Amino acid sequence: MRVLLIGSGGREHAIAAALAQDVSVDTLVCAPGNPGMAELGECVPVNMNDPTAVAGLAVTSAADLVIVGPEAPLVAGVADAVRAKGIPVYGPGREAARIEGSKAFAKEIMAAAGVPTAAARSCRDQKEIEAALDEFGAPYVVKDDGLAAGKGVIVTEDRDAALAHALGCERVVIEEYLDGPEVSLFVVSDGETARPMLPAQDFKRVGDGGTGPNTGGMGAYTPLPWAPDDLVSEIMTRVAEPTLAELAGRGTPFIGTLYCGLALTSKGLKVVEFNARFGDPEIQPILALLESSLGELLYAAANGKLAGFGPLWWREGAAVCVVVANEGYPEETITGRPVYGADQEGVLHAGTALDATGQLIATGGRVLNCIGTGASVAQARQEAYMLAEGVKIEGCHFRGDIAAGL
Supply the minimum distance, in Å, between the C-beta of residue 196 and ligand GLY. 17
Minimum gap (Å) between residue 216 Cβ and ligand GLY = 6
DSSP codes of every residue in 78-118: HHHHHHHTT--EES--HHHHHHHH-HHHHHHHHHHHT--B-
Buried/exposed 2-38: b ≥16 CB within 10 Å, e otherwise = ebbbbbbbbbbbbbbbbbeebebbeebbbbebbbbbe
Q: Which of residues 92-131 bind ligand AMP (CB under 6 A)?
A: 118
Pick between residue 217 and residue 256 the one whose CB is nearest to ligand GLY: 217
Q: What are phi and psi of 10, to 5 degrees?
A: -65, -35
Minimum CB–partner distance for residue 217 and ligand GLY (Å): 4
**DSSP states along 139-151:** SEEEEESS--TT-
Of 191-199, 229-237, 273-281, 337-345: span binding ligand GLY (CB under 6 A): 273-281
Residue 272 interacts with which of ligand AMP, ligand GLY, none, CB < 5 to 8 Å by class: ligand AMP
Residue 141 makes contact with ligand AMP by CB under 6 A: yes
Binding status of residue 281 toward ligand AMP by CB under 6 A: no
| Shorter beta-carbon distance to ligand AMP: residue 270 or 349 | 270
The upper half-sphere exposure of residue 51, i.e. CA atoms within 13 Å in the direction of its Cβ, equals 16
How many residues bind to ligand AMP according to rule CB under 6 A? 16
Contact call for residue 5 and ligand AMP (CB under 6 A)? no
Are 406 and 225 in contact by the 8 Å Cβ rule? The answer is yes
CB of 355 to ligand GLY, least distance (A): 28
Considering the complex, state which of residue 64 and residue 100 has its C-beta at the smaller distance from ligand GLY. Answer: 100
Residue 100 binds ligand GLY, judged by CB under 6 A? no
Residue 7 as a binder of ligand GLY (CB under 6 A): the answer is: no
- Cα–Cα distance, 363 to 17 (Å, whole number): 21
Do the Cβ atoms of 191 and 88 come closer than 8 Å? no
Q: Which does 117 bind (CB under 5 to 8 A by kind): ligand GLY, ligand AMP, none?
A: none
User: Which of 217, 219, 285, 351: binder of ligand GLY (CB under 6 A)?
Assistant: 217
Q: Does the footprint of ligand AMP cover residue 150 (CB under 6 A)?
A: yes
**Residue selected from 3, 280, 299, 398 as contacting ligand GLY according to rule CB under 6 A:** 280
19 or 272: CB nearest ligand AMP: 272
Measure the CA angle with vertex 347, ends 346 and 349; round to 5°: 145
Give the separation between CA 188 and CA 301, rounded to whole angstroms. Answer: 7
Q: Which of 61, 189, 214, 284 binds ligand AMP (CB under 6 A)?
A: 214
Q: What's the rounded Cα separation, in Å, for the pair 372 and 47?
A: 32
Q: Which of 12, 22, 145, 202 binds ligand GLY (CB under 6 A)?
A: 202
CA 191 to chain centre: 19
Which residue, 290 or 323, has its beta carbon nearer to ligand AMP?
Answer: 323
**Can you name the residues that pair with 314 across neighbouring β-strands?**
290
For residue 272, state whether it binds ligand AMP (rule: CB under 6 A). yes
The residue count of the chain comes to 406
Cis peptide bond upstream of 139, omega within 30:
yes
Burial class for 105, CB neighbours closer than 10 Å (0-12, 13-18, 19+): middle
Smallest gap from Cβ 182 to ligand AMP, in A, equals: 6
Applying CB under 6 A, the residues found at the interface with ligand GLY are 150, 202, 216-217, 275, 279-280, 282
What residues make contact with ligand AMP under the rule CB under 6 A? 118, 141, 143, 150, 153, 155, 175-178, 182, 204, 214, 261, 272-273
